[in-house]
Chains A and B, each alone.
Chain A
Amino acid sequence: MASEAPPTALSPAQAQEAWHSRLLGLMAARKEPIISFAVILVSWQIASFFLPPYLIPSVDVIVAAFIEIVVNIGLLGDVLITMGRIFLGLVLAFIIGTILGVFMGFTQTVEKHTLPVLHFIMGIPALSWVVFAIIWFSHVETRIAFILLAGCLPNYALIIHDGIKSISKEYLDMLRAMRPTRKQLFSKLVLPGMIPAVLTAWKVNLGLAARVVIVAELVGATRGVGNKLLLAQELFEMPKAIAWTLVLVAFLLITQLVILMLEHKLLRWRPAKQGGMAT
């Protein structure tokens, strides 16, 4: 077969390498992010010289507050409680959203009835859910779970519905010509076909949930980052407010990284991404 063109895509080993360097880049082995953050830090520090510390505290005070949280088991517990709420809410939203998404993907009637409602719900601001939750429920954790569910469930359902819809009929016909059972069709086509959508849904919702949960924790939670932020606000403690925010962002970045690694493992069959517009 000498006449055939050799494959031009990256070999698996090359793709692996490209990925690793990208991951390292992401983890700050590059100079650009360091420069950006250095500029922000220096500007902040300069500003702190001219403005009162309760508005712009100096960097070392913030770092001290940050370290205090990280080394203090009790305080770290608040972060873990918040993360726990995020995960619980997301897992719940994921399960229900997946079931809904799969049903919509396979049944036109369900699709036609549900899709417009989901889009409508997506338009409701998180703060409205907070108000509804306070009126409807008295238990704090129920309120938080409800707010997260309302915020993230439609997203899961829509993305997974999309993922199932995007499975091509060509693959379906190819497999059906071999007469698979329903179960085989699901395990060999639908399940692997929707994995990219599932991962996307998790990435999108993790960011969404993190923003929503802080607001949700203002509805009477006695622990959690939202509660700590509220306390910091009441006492006008800017260093703590910033430190708590930073801790939460750090945790989220770590989680994002875990998902990214999982994605790399599960989607290694994908062609390596080509460069974008920036040069």
Chain B
Amino acid sequence: MSAAGPVVRMRDVSKVFTSVDGDRFTAVESLDLEVGSGDIVAIVGKTGCGKSTTFNLLLGLEEATTGSIELLGHDPYREFDWFRSKLGVIFQTDRLLPWRTALENARVGLEILDFSEKEQNDIALQWLHKLELQGFEDAYPHELSGGMRQRVGMARAFCLSPEIFFADEAFGHLDQSTARRLREVFLELVTESRKTCLLITHNIHEALEIGSRLVILGRPGRVLADMETPTNATRAEMAEFEDRVLDIIENNEVVG
């Protein structure tokens, strides 16, 4: 892998699901995407357009039907184990293991990497504190609020010091003010880490707030448009941009 090459490269990727009755359903179709090192990219699209499927393909949890996917120059599905500790993932729901405390959940990735117990706890505590969870280290998930659980999920991802961050609707089920605050914290930490980040969302506001780059997905999953998010725009300009994005999503046609 060349250091200058893209961190994420998807070429002509498609994913077809075949049901038990033999029905075929195309969730992603000839998707091309490149993301450079250190980029923070927001991927936006309607619900059901194949965002989560794309996400699972990128994580190597599913095999692409056609096309090629490379992260850091490696295939996440075929070279599955190469990606130990490379991917930091934040899911839509917190996915905390209910039988583990906040601390035990945060350190689970470090356990998998065979860190010593002291290192595991030191690193996990450091991130829990950074995410303002002091005092809740020994709480079980059901004892935490939704926002706090998502913070533990974030700590779990940051503990790994991954090369790439992925988030799939990570703030989607939280109330607006909690979501906004968490988004800020997340962006701050990702920017600080200078790592690449792909953030998937159906929320245009969120997409505009997060990324310097906006990728619009249509149905079935393919890139409709790939644009810079305006910086220093006035309110009116921002509203206009937002309208354009909405139009593109509605038309569901590739913008030349």
Q: How far is the CB of B55 from chain A (nearest CB, A)?
A: 10
Given contacts A1-B132, A7-B145, contact A178 B109 (CB under 8 A): yes
Q: Which of B59, B84, B108, B148 contacts A7 (CB 8 A)?
A: B148
The yes or no answer to A177 lying at the interface (CB within 8 A) is yes
Q: Are B89 and A177 in contact (CB under 8 A)?
A: yes
- Find A174's partner among B85, B89, B111, B139 (CB 8 Å cutoff): B89
Contacting pair A7 B139 (CB below 8 A): yes
Q: Is the CB of B97 within 8 A of A189?
A: yes
Q: Flag whether A117 is at the interface (Cβ < 8 A).
A: no
Interface residues of B in 108-150 (CB under 8 A from A): 108-109, 111-112, 132, 138-145, 147-148
Out of A173, A192, A268, which one reaches B97, CB within 8 Å?
A192
Quick check: B147 and A178 within 8 Å, CB to CB?
Answer: no
Does A271 make an interface contact (CB < 8 A)? yes
Alpha-carbon separation in the docked complex, A1 to B150 (Å): 13
CA distance A184 to B181 in the complex (A): 34
Tell me if A264 counts as interface (CB < 8 A to partner B). Answer: no
Let me know if B145 and A6 touch, CB within 8 A: yes
Once A269-B98, A269-B99 are accepted as A-B contacts, the answer to whether A11 and B177 lie under 8 Å apart by CB is: no
B80 touches A175 (CB 8 A): no
Chain B residues lying within 8 Å of A171, measured Cβ to Cβ, are 95, 97
Contact of B112 among A7, A170, A178, A271 (CB under 8 A): A178
Complex Cα spacing A3 to B146, Å: 12
Q: Are B148 and A4 in contact, CB atoms less than 8 angstroms apart?
A: yes
- Measured CB to CB, the nearest residue on chain A to B56 is A173
Nearest residue, chain B, Cβ from A173: B61
Taking CB atoms, residues of chain B closer than 8 Å to A31 are none
Task: Tell me if A5 counts as interface (CB < 8 A to partner B).
Answer: yes
Q: For residues 201 through 239 of chain A, which have their beta carbon under 8 Å from a beta carbon of chain B?
A: none
Cα(A186)–Cα(B97), bound, Å: 14
Q: Give the interface size bracket for B toward A.
A: 35 or more
* Contact A177:B87 (CB < 8 A) given known A184-B112, A188-B111: yes
Nearest Cβ on chain B to A167's Cβ, whole angstroms: 10
Q: Mark B89-107, 1 if CB is under 8 A from A, else 0.
A: 1010101011111000000
Cβ of B47 within 8 Å of any chain A Cβ, yes or no, is no
Interface residue? A179 (CB, 8 A): yes
Q: A170 to B89, alpha carbons, bound, how many Å?
A: 12
Of residues A180, A181, A195, which shows the largest number of chain B Cβ atoms within 10 Å of its Cβ?
A180
Determine the chain A residues whose CB is within 8 A of the CB of B61 once the complex forms. Answer: 173, 176-177
> Which residues of chain B come closer than 8 Å to A179, judged between CB atoms?
80-81, 83-85, 112
Q: Are B143 and A7 in contact (CB under 8 A)?
A: yes
CB-based contact B111/A184 at 8 Å: yes
Among A9, A177, A268, which residue has the most Cβ atoms of chain B within 10 A? A177
10 A–B contacts from the bound complex (CB under 8 Å) = A4-B147, A9-B142, A11-B143, A12-B139, A173-B56, A173-B91, A176-B59, A177-B61, A184-B111, A188-B111
B interface residue numbers (CB < 8 A to A): 56, 59, 61, 80-81, 83-85, 87, 89, 91, 93, 95, 97-101, 108-109, 111-112, 132, 138-145, 147-148, 160, 177-178, 181
